[in-house]
Amino acid sequence: MDIFRDVIEIEDEVVKLVGKIADENNFEAYVVGGYVRDLFLGKEVKDVDFLVIGEGIKFARIVAKHFRKKVTIYEQFRTAMIALEDRKIEFVGARKESYRRDSRKPIVESGSLEDDLARRDFTINAIAVSINEKTFGKVIDPYNGRKDLIDKIIRTPLDPEKTFDDDPLRMMRAVRFACQLNFTIEEGTLSAIKKMKDRLIIVSQERITDEFLKIMQSPKPSIGLRLMQETSLMSVVLPEVAELEGTEQRTPYHHKDVFQHTCQVVDNLAGVTDNVWLRLAGLFHDIAKPKTKAFKEGVGWTFYGHDVLGAKMVRSIFRRMKLPIDKSKYVEKLVRLHLRPMALVDENVTDSAIRRLIVQAGEDLDDLIKLCRADITTRNPKLVEEYSRNYDIVVQKIKEVEEKDRLRAFKSPVDGNEIMQALGLNPGPLVGRLKKAIEEAILEGVIPNEHDAAFDYLMKIKDQVIAEYESEKRAHSD
């Protein structure tokens, strides 16, 4: 496609049909926004944004009747959406917007096509294409968005400071588009983000988090992470990550700077998984290093306990960012365990140590190993080979122990109900302690992971465990 032609071809049958409906009902209509941008970029386009001069909702109802579909109206935003079989089409009436300083919710008035394109966030999203029969395919590009597509530039149509002052979320969107498309943010736009970053506090956390997750889901998240750091958006959104910059470390398989190392770890994970929560574990795996940094003579900088403290920090970050708390347990686990596999390389490591890792990681063991491999960021190919080989050794040991013990989904073969029934106990901490004793015996290789062996062990140790429990209770009551 010649991107600079005045008229372009659109083969989309839905767009053609909506254009025909517009003609039949005397509406002036265009396709705009991401649909047009991706069309010019040669990307697959499904969802369509239609801009209507006049009453967009009224036109949407007419289109919905034609498709025999339900139309969803968003009165607050003066938009409407129709869900087709495999795509969504949205309608908005051309409008102009103004903003109060304390809110990013616009005051909306009807406007012209020019008004509507001027209110758009970036030039690459401020291109319209006519779908009326007489002018079908005509390109309206008042802010040279096509040139910015060619030059791979993110810039605002109007003054960037005013643009970001009106709607501060656009700063995160600028970073997100630069990250997703591998574009550069134009210098004036970048400077405006640095200056206006604190305006982001008026935006709801949910909207900020949504944009951040899209950055983390990009093919190369480090582009967005580094832009957030450069503009100081990171200090507003994730101060814990911002603080990683300047924290030095001296190990042969890490970058010197923890922030740069972390960016590389996230990119390494992005190369092997689409799981955004695993990528977040990579982002947070060294989150506590600034708080645990200490200098030890003859060793250099140490970060003892950063794995444990980092895991504790994850939940508060999830709560503040309004991320799903059920996913925090997964991320916490990986952060807490990310040093463990490398510690198991030694030939003298016992099967019980391997068993503990298997049980603690559970079904997330494969993801833990992916995180550990991603954590190798040295530029020395020999060291990469050496550390990768060490993880191969650990994985082989895990397989051997799993084959022997079938422990991947480990549960005590004698559950709490059976313990209570066999010993005549009521529910309480004592039952848990007896169950724990059985599990420990299996993990240490004292007994096999089999029901009869576990039950016999219970009967053997029950008197001693009960006596210890009763003694502790008496000591506490005294």
CATH of the domain at 32: 3.30.460.10
Residue 109: strand pairing partners: 96
List Cα–Cα distances, 307 to 170, 188, 196, 312, 369, in angstroms: 35, 40, 35, 9, 15
Residue 254: inside a domain, yes or no?
no
Residue 453: inside a domain, yes or no?
yes
Q: How far apart are CA 444 and CA 449, in angstroms?
A: 11
Q: Give me the domain span that covers residue 195.
A: 152-237
384 plus 422 within the same structural domain: no
Q: How far apart are CA 262 and CA 192, in angstroms?
A: 27
Q: How far apart are CA 232 and CA 433, in angstroms?
A: 50
Residues 6+ apart with CB under 8 A from 318: 324, 325, 327, 328, 331
274 plus 400 within the same structural domain: yes
82 plus 182 within the same structural domain: no
212 plus 324 within the same structural domain: no
Q: Which of 175, 176, 143 is nearest to 158 (CA)?
A: 143
Residue 21: inside a domain, yes or no?
yes
237, 259, 294 - which closes a domain: 237
343 plus 399 within the same structural domain: yes
Radius of gyration in angstroms for the set of CA atoms belonging to the chain, rounded to a whole number: 29
91 plus 186 within the same structural domain: no
116, 147, 178 - which closes a domain: 147
Residue 245: inside a domain, yes or no?
no
Residue 253: inside a domain, yes or no?
no
347 plus 276 within the same structural domain: yes
327 plus 382 within the same structural domain: yes
Q: How far apart are CA 238 and CA 418, in angstroms?
A: 48
Q: How far apart are CA 219 and CA 279, in angstroms?
A: 11
Q: How far apart are CA 455 and CA 447, in angstroms?
A: 10
Domain count, the chain: 4
Q: Are 135 and 22 in contact (CB under 8 A)?
A: no
147, 172, 201 - which closes a domain: 147
378 plus 292 within the same structural domain: yes
227 plus 316 within the same structural domain: no
Residue holding tokens 């060294």? Answer: 286
Residue 250: inside a domain, yes or no?
no
305 plus 339 within the same structural domain: yes
Residues 6+ apart with CB under 8 A from 471: none
191 plus 101 within the same structural domain: no
Residue 69: inside a domain, yes or no?
yes
Residue holding tokens 């030890």? Answer: 296
pTM of the model: 0.80
The tens-digit pLDDT sequence of the chain (478 residues) is: 678 889 999 999 999 999 999 999 999 999 999 999 999 999 988 899 999 999 999 999 999 999 999 999 987 778 999 999 889 999 999 987 655 666 556 555 678 999 999 999 999 999 999 999 999 999 999 999 999 999 999 999 999 999 999 899 999 999 999 999 999 999 999 999 999 999 999 999 999 999 999 999 999 999 999 999 999 999 999 999 999 998 766 555 455 689 999 999 999 999 999 999 999 999 999 999 988 876 666 656 666 689 999 999 999 999 999 999 999 999 999 999 999 888 887 767 788 888 888 888 989 999 999 999 999 887 778 877 877 888 888 888 888 887 776 655 567 789 999 999 999 999 999 999 999 899 888 888 889 888 999 999 999 999 999 999 988 888 777 6
Residue 6: inside a domain, yes or no?
no
Residue holding tokens 């990768």? Answer: 388
Q: What pLDDT sits at residue 297?
A: 63
